[in-house]
Every structure is written in structure tokens, then in C-alpha cells.
Amino acid sequence: MDKIEQDFLQALKTVLGQPNPFVPLHEPEFMGNEWERVKDCLDSTFVSSVGKYVDRFEVMLAEYTGAKYAVAVVNGTAALHIALLLAGVRTGDEVLIPALSFVATANAVSHCGAIPHFIESQFETLGIDPHALNDYLKHCSLSSSEGLTNRLTGRRIAAVIPMHTYGHPVDMSSLLEVANRYHLPVVEDAAESLGSCYRGQHTGTFGQLGTLSFNGNKVITTGGGGAILTNDAKLAQQAKHLTTTAKQPHRWEFFHDAVAWNYRLPNLNAALGCAQMEQLPSLLNRKRLLAQKYQEVFQDVEGVGFVVEPANSQSNYWLNTLRLEEPSLLVRDRLLTVANDAGYQCRPTWTLLHKLPMYADCPHAPLPVAEQLEVSLINVPSSAKLAGAAR
């Protein structure tokens, strides 16, 4: 084993203790009222998309994030799909998204019949680089009637999706400036950033619409689930309508006024969500403690840095992330091999989206930083309960 591999493994051991036999990347935790709330929901027989827990979960999310409205849906991808439609994305449009993201960001664009257009990342935040975006958009044409058009494809650019990577907020002040300059609606993919704030404001509340995910690997979970956040009453009402098969409320009549979706979050999942929301402050405190420990210990590992929350931000440290000082696929994969062999579940970042077969023909900006990040980031075990193992 090379020195960097030995040091890397030793640092993981120092933070996480000995694997017994395996330390997962991210485990959910059910230490509060989860059993009680789910049992109460089962006893009520209201297990499907109507019930007190859905309403309560939406209120809890809105209160916590500071959004005026939260609409609970089946997952984060569905949330993003509907949010994009409500922002005006239509078939044949292009939507600007980071090349470095989970595939769901691009899939949601495709579900609208639109085309993802991949944008450069910022080294510090791991999210969209607003300055690179600004320079890049100078090559597009902006008109008062057509909006922003990609000169090369002739297609309208309909929106931009900042995604807060691993919980680290995008530089939203700069991003919003660029979006305003080009009249671009902003839909935030905050799937990974419940509990993360930029300049004291919760992520997902800066754009017209924002979305969350409660997948089993997220900070809190409903098994599967998501939510749409907005401050606009009409958009919230439309979100609820479109995710409830566009059924007009009536005591018995089945009248639906649009082709729509069955995307509402079941009450059973929302019951779990309510109990998880009660645990959120404790989960976040412990995740930040764990991040602090990683930061301290990895200071002494030559060649490997720890990704800290960006300026003006408070991160939920959803997934703690290490960064090779010299980007190298070979070294990254050697470190992944020794860590996983030893029982520490570590993962690389995502393959850049424009390299996936179904997105290979989509337009993309120059991506030198994203390319570097792709071969230098490693996610390490990040469950809140590991803060207890941190010594």
C-alpha cells in the first residue's frame, strides 16, 4: 500500500472506529416517534394520499424552510418534474443544469420533453459556477419576445436548476444575478440540502420553486418522498392539483381538467416524515460534529483535503466529501478500493451527466472544473450516528 492509501485508511479508522463489519455511506435513523406515528396512521386506515400526516408534514416543511408553501410528493424526481412544468418548461426547450449532478436532475428535464444543457461547476461550492455561466450565456441571444435562445440549436433556454451538491449551497447571490440578467426562471434542486442555508435563508426557497427529496439515503427519510417549495400561492395550488390527477374537488364527481399525475405522497410515508422532522435538529447537529472530525483528522493526510461549507453558507454536510489535491482517476480508485475492502463504504462522485449514453448528444458548456471534480471527489460514511463513533 502506498503512503496516501495507508494514511487515508488510518484517518477513516480514527474518525469512524473499526468497521463492524461494515460502515455504510448513509444510514437512516429512527430514534424518535417513528413507530408511534406510523402505527397511528395504520390504525386510522388513512394510508394513502389523503390524511392528517400529509397536511402536518407540509406545514412542518414550510415552517422549517421558511417557504410559504410545501407540497409533498412521491419523490424528489417527481417534485422536480412538476416544478419545471410550473416554471414554464415545455417540450423542445433547453434547461441549464450542472453536469455534475445525480442523474435525476437531468431525468426530470427529460420528463418534460426538454433537453438538459450541461453547465460548469465551481471548485469551492461543487455547484453551478455563476461566473462561468454568465460568460457562457453571452453566446446565447436574448430577446424580449423569445427570451433566451441557444444560437447553436435554435432552442429556447427555459430555466436554470442550481443543485446544492452534498448539501453545500450554491453561490445563490451571483446565480440569481445571472438568472435575472437573462430572464431565466430558477428552479432549485435542493434534494440533498434540507437543513442547509445560504446567507441565513434555507436552500430551495430562492427560486420560483425548489424541490426536496426524502429518499432513504437523505438527511431525513419518508422511505421515498419529496416536496415542492414555493412562496407563490397559485403555483402551490397548481402543484397540488397536477400531482393529484388534476381532479377538481367534489364530494362524489370524478372530473379531471388536465392530463396530470398521481404524485401525491401517501399519508403513511408522511407519518414517518413528521417523526423524522422532529429529529432533524439533532441529526443536523451530529452531522456537523462528524464533519468537524473529518476536517480535523484529514488535515494531516497529505494529498487529500476535506470539502468545507462554502462562504456565507451553513451546510447540512449530507455527504462528507474528500478531495484529492491532484485529481487522478487512478489514485481515486485505489483509495476507493482500500476503503471499501476495509469495510468503509466510500463512493466516487457521479459520472458527469454528458458522458451518460442518453445525454451524450445534449449541449454542454466547457467543463474543465467539473472534469477535475469527477476524478478527485470521494464521499465517505456520513450517517449522523457516526458522530458518536468520532473520537
Which residues would be at the binding site for ligand PLP (CB under 6 A)?
75-77, 101-102, 104-105, 163, 189, 191-192, 213, 215, 226
Quick one: 4 or 190, whose CB is closer to ligand PLP?
190
**Residue 159 or 297: which CB sits closer to ligand PLP?**
159
Nearer to ligand PLP, 179 or 353 (CB): 353
Nearer to ligand PLP, 65 or 150 (CB): 65
Strand order in the sheet with 197-198: 201-202, 197-198, 313-314
Q: How far is the CB of 182 from ligand PLP (least distance, A)?
A: 23
Q: Between residues 194 and 197, which has the closer beta carbon with respect to ligand PLP?
A: 194
Q: Which residue has the cell 440569481?
A: 176
How many other CB atoms are found less than 10 A from the CB of residue 13?
14
Nearest distance from C-beta of residue 161 to ligand PLP, angstroms: 9
Measured from the CB atom, the residue of 226 and 310 that comes closer to ligand PLP is 226
Task: Identify whether the C-beta of residue 349 lies closer than 8 Å to the C-beta of residue 374.
Answer: yes
CB of 350 to ligand PLP, least distance (A): 9
Distance CA 328, CA 156 (A): 37
Smallest gap from Cβ 106 to ligand PLP, in A, equals 9
Alpha helices (H) along 87-159: 103-111, 130-137
Burial of 276 (0-12, 13-18, 19+ CB in 10 A): buried
- Cα 59 from chain centroid? 21
Element (H, E) at 54: helix 52-65
Q: How far is the CB of 229 from ligand PLP (least distance, A)?
A: 14
Pairing of strands 201-202, 197-198: antiparallel
Residue nearest to ligand PLP (CB): 76
Taking the complex as a whole, the smallest distance from the CB of residue 45 to ligand PLP amounts, in Å, to 26
Query: For residues 83 and 188, what is the distance between their CA atoms, to the nearest angstrom?
Result: 9
